[in-house]
Amino acid sequence: MIGYPSLRMLTRRAFTTSTAKHTVPLAYKLHEFPKVGSADGPPILFMHGLFGSKQNNRSISKALARDLNRLVYAIDLRNHGESPHDIRHDYTAMAEDVEGFIMEKSLEQPALIGHSMGAKVAMTVALRNPQTVSALIPVDNSPIDATLKSDFGKYVQAMRVIEDAKISRQSDADAILQKYEEALPIRQFLLTNLTRSPDTKAVKFRIPIKTLADSLDHLGDFPFRDPDEARYEGPTLFVRGTKSHYVADEALPLIGRFFPRFELLDIESGHWVISEKPEEFRKGVVDFLQRQLSS
């Protein structure tokens, strides 16, 4: 068993369980550290945002595995990427999936990184099972109930139009999407979900559009309300884009109650912090996690 400085070991019995739990097995990509020998710290679980997948975090996962000499698991949350579809899509269900993944892989106190929707999943896991998480890095989201940006509803509408058009070329899908989103990087991000039907040759989306559309009203919610009843006292780094509204100054006192050891890293970007400023994000995460091992 590998020892990590100042970290207690994960035990399977430590997990909070739900009597109604129905988890799905999560697809993942393992990015291994390049050095020969043991890892320099616990593994990292990297969780994407809404409409994303493990592919979105491929480059940064490779960089973190290299720079930190740790295993990095980039995972597909339920209803995304190559993971199974399920009619239930909320933060408790997604957190239970991640907890199941940690148990299945026998991961010892992983560090959790999540962007947007993935940030709330990571926070939920840490609050449900604080003793099993060595460090927490939520990226541009807060532990509060908030309304999602209207952009996500527009994206669902665009996806439905694209599928109804039964087109066969990605360029045609992009032409439709331009009516809903001007920014090319965001369109390219959304179009990574396109696949081609083997029967009709028409492009379609691999994510369950109806399930995610029905879940939009609840994806701004957070399953915990009272910091006196659930708290994660491990090292926490909140990363926020200064041009985004998801981590407002007004939320910081509540963040401090849920996560009393939190630090704040501001990066001059919008909501898509990792893709907009990957080097600043990488440096901030590497510095933070290296400090945890040496403290």
Residue 100 parent element (H or E) = helix 91-104
Give the whole-angstrom CA distance, residue 67 versus residue 40: 10
What pLDDT score was predicted for residue 22? Answer: 85
Q: Which CATH architecture has domain 12-147+221-294?
A: 3-Layer(aba) Sandwich (3.40)
Find the mean pLDDT for residues 178-198: 92
Find the mean pLDDT for residues 225-238: 96
Catalytic pick among 53, 61, 83, 116: 116
What pLDDT score was predicted for residue 32? Answer: 94
Res. 247: pLDDT tops 90: yes
Q: For the residues of 22-45, what is the DSSP string, one character each?
A: ---PPPEEEE--SSSSS-SS--EE
pLDDT digits (tens, 9 = 90+) for 16-71: 544 446 899 999 999 998 877 888 999 999 999 999 999 999 999 999 999 999 99
Catalytic pick among 48, 80, 89, 271: 271
Amino acid at 244: S
Sorted by where each begins, the domain ranges of the chain are: 12-147+221-294, 150-216
| Residues composing the chain | 295
Please report which confidence band the pLDDT of residue 99 belongs to, taking 50, 70 and 90 as the band edges. very high
| Residue 116 among the catalytic residues | yes
pLDDT digits (tens, 9 = 90+) for 145-184: 987 777 899 999 999 999 999 999 999 999 999 999 999 9
| Residue 168 among the catalytic residues | no
pTM as predicted: 0.91
What is the 3-class SS of 173-238, one letter each residue?
Answer: HHHHHCCCCCCHHHHHHHHCCEEECCCCCCEEECCCHHHHHHHHHHCCCCCCCCCCCCCCCCCEEE
Give the whole-angstrom CA distance, residue 172 versus residue 156: 17
